Amino acid sequence: MEPSEFETKLKRLLDAARSGRENAACVACTDCEGCVECTFSSRSKGLLRCHYCVECERSVSSTHCRASKDLFSCTHCESCERCVQSSYLVRCFDCTSSSYCYGCVGLVGRDFHILNEPYSRSEYFAITAKLKRATRG
């Protein structure tokens, strides 16, 4: 096989994979594309074994997440990207094994942080409640 033939065939395979919109082995998902083994998710693309996710993309083994991308084994994350084994994150990026973080970047094994600064549990919930009210109104 010549290098040019290899490149042509690889491009063809990639194009076919990108255009694939069928879901496989999903249950009760709506308006999803290219998802596999998901349940009760909606308006999402490229999920694998995710459940109850809404408007998510390219995530694996995550549940109850919203408007997030590239998550792995996360739960209840909202507007997050590239987080791993984390829960209850909001607007966080590249966080791992963390929970209850808001607007954090690159944290590992941290809980109750806002903009990468630690807070007590009660301070965290008071501040984030105020932030959520301000951004929804």
Mean pLDDT of 8-12: 92
Q: What is the pLDDT of residue 135?
A: 81
- For residues 12 and 66, membership in a common domain is answered with yes
Residue 16 has pLDDT above 80, yes or no: no
Mean pLDDT of 99-124: 98
Q: Which of 58, 76, 94 is the last residue of a domain?
A: 76
Number of domain units in the chain: 2
Q: What is the share, in percent, of the chain residues with pLDDT greater than 90?
A: 87
Q: Are 66 and 81 in contact (CB under 8 A)?
A: no
- pTM: predicted TM-score of the whole model, two decimal places: 0.88
- For residues 37 and 55, membership in a common domain is answered with yes
> What is d(CA 36, CA 18) in angstroms, rounded to the nearest whole number?
14
Residue 137 has pLDDT above 90, yes or no: no
pLDDT, tens only, 19-69: 667 898 999 999 999 999 999 999 999 999 999 999 999 999 999 999 999
- For residues 72 and 100, membership in a common domain is answered with no
- For residues 92 and 65, membership in a common domain is answered with no
Q: What is the pLDDT of residue 20?
A: 63
Q: Is 37 left (phi over 0), alpha (psi -120 to 50) or beta?
A: left
Mean pLDDT of 91-110: 98
- For residues 58 and 119, membership in a common domain is answered with no
Tell me the sheet residues that pair with 94. Answer: none
Residue 8 has pLDDT above 60, yes or no: yes
- For residues 20 and 57, membership in a common domain is answered with yes
Taking the CA atoms of the chain, what radius of gyration do you get in angstroms?
Answer: 18
How many other CB atoms are there within 10 angstroms of residue 111's CB atom? Answer: 17
